[in-house]
Amino acid sequence: MKLKFLGIAGLALLAACSNTDSSATGAGGAGAGSGNIRPGSQEDLVANVGDRVFFDYDRSNVRADQRPVLQRQAEWMGRYPEVRVQVQGHADERGTREYNIALSARRATATREFLIAQGVKGSRVSSIAYGKERPAALCDAEQCWSQNRRAVTVITGGASGIGAATARRFLEIALEEGLELFFVNLVRLAQEKLQAYIGERPFVSVALTDFDEGRCLAAWPDREVYRG
């Protein structure tokens, strides 16, 4: 969907699409403390689904009482098909470093395989093992050890539930439905103001950004044209 305006050359000032620092999410961010949890985010997973399952000492099989959590995770991932996750396996400190890494890997694998058996595509689930190196609870008793024998599901991509394809489609629809003139005027006005300010005519685009990841999902005009 290239437009005549793509002929504009100049500095590739990639506005919101250049923002890779997730700390710049600012007001648009995680909404912690605001009581406003974005669906399809890590907070949503933690608060409404359950992000972790627990294991018995020295065991790596998914316990029967833990299966409901994973079933809910699988169903949740079905609702947000853009989301990709990593299952992180852990062990408690009552053991040695190398073996516990292998044991925690087995826990992560068992959890991942359970999710796949529930219908989640394997390419959406990676796994990693941390052994006993990242305890969640630090006391020297079973109440902490049991919390550390865990597999935690962590979002690694697509947290907003909106991916690049969806965002581009959204922009296409918006342009077709009459926003094109609005966007063109917005971009032109911004370019004029910025040129007066910095002395050069920059490239300006309107972008749809996933603030959790700090990632630009789609932009108009398509910044790909100006790369290089």
Partner 1 sequence: MTTRRSLLLGAAGAVTVSGLAGAPDAAFAQGAVIDITRARTNPIPIAIPDFAGAGDGQRYGRDIARVVQDNLRNSGLFRPVARQAFIQTPEAAAQTPRFQDWRVIGAQALATGRADLQGGNLRVEFRLWDVLPENQLQGTAFTAPIGNWRRIAHLISDVIYERLLGEKGYFDTRVVYIAESGPRDRRLRRLAIMDQDGENNAFLTDGREAALTPRFHPSADRVAFMSYQNRQQPRVVLFDLNTRNQQVLGNFPGMTLSPRFSPDGRSVVLSATRGGDANIFVVDLASRRERQLTSGGGLDVSPCYSPDGTQIVFNSDRGGDQQLYVMDANGGGAKRISFGRGRYATPVWSPRGDLIAFTRFGGGGFAIGVMRPDGSGERILSEGWQMEAPTFAPNGRVLMFYRETRATDARGGGYSAKLVSIDIAGFNERPIPTPTDATDPTWSPLLS
Q: Select the residue interacting with partner 1 from 1, 24, 128, 173 (CB under 8 A).
A: 128
Q: Is 142:191 a contact under the CB 8 Å cutoff?
A: no
Applying CB under 8 A, what is the total number of residues that bind partner 1?
A: 26
Return the C-alpha torsion angle 75, 77, 78, 83, nearest 10.
Answer: 170
Residue type, 66: Q
Q: Is 98 in the site for partner 1 (CB under 8 A)?
A: yes
Mask for 134-173, x = binds partner 1 (CB under 8 A): xxx-xxx---------------------------------
Q: Of residues 22, 109, 118, 166, which one binds partner 1 by CB under 8 A?
A: 109
Closest contact distance (angstroms) between CB of 66 and partner 1 is 16
Shortest distance, CB of residue 46 to partner 1, whole angstroms? 17
* Rg of the chain taking only CA atoms, in angstroms: 23
- Quick check: 63 binds partner 1 (CB under 8 A)? no
Would you say 95 or 202 has its CB closer to partner 1?
Answer: 95
Spatial neighbors of 95 by CB under 8 A, at least 6 apart, are: 58, 103, 132
Name residues contacting partner 1, limited to 40-59 (CB under 8 A). Answer: 58
Say whether residue 106 binds partner 1 (CB under 8 A): yes
Closest CA to 204 of 15, 61, 4, 50: 15
Least distance to partner 1, CB of residue 94, Å = 7
Binding site for partner 1 (CB under 8 A): 58, 60, 93-99, 101-103, 105-106, 109-110, 127-129, 133-136, 138-140
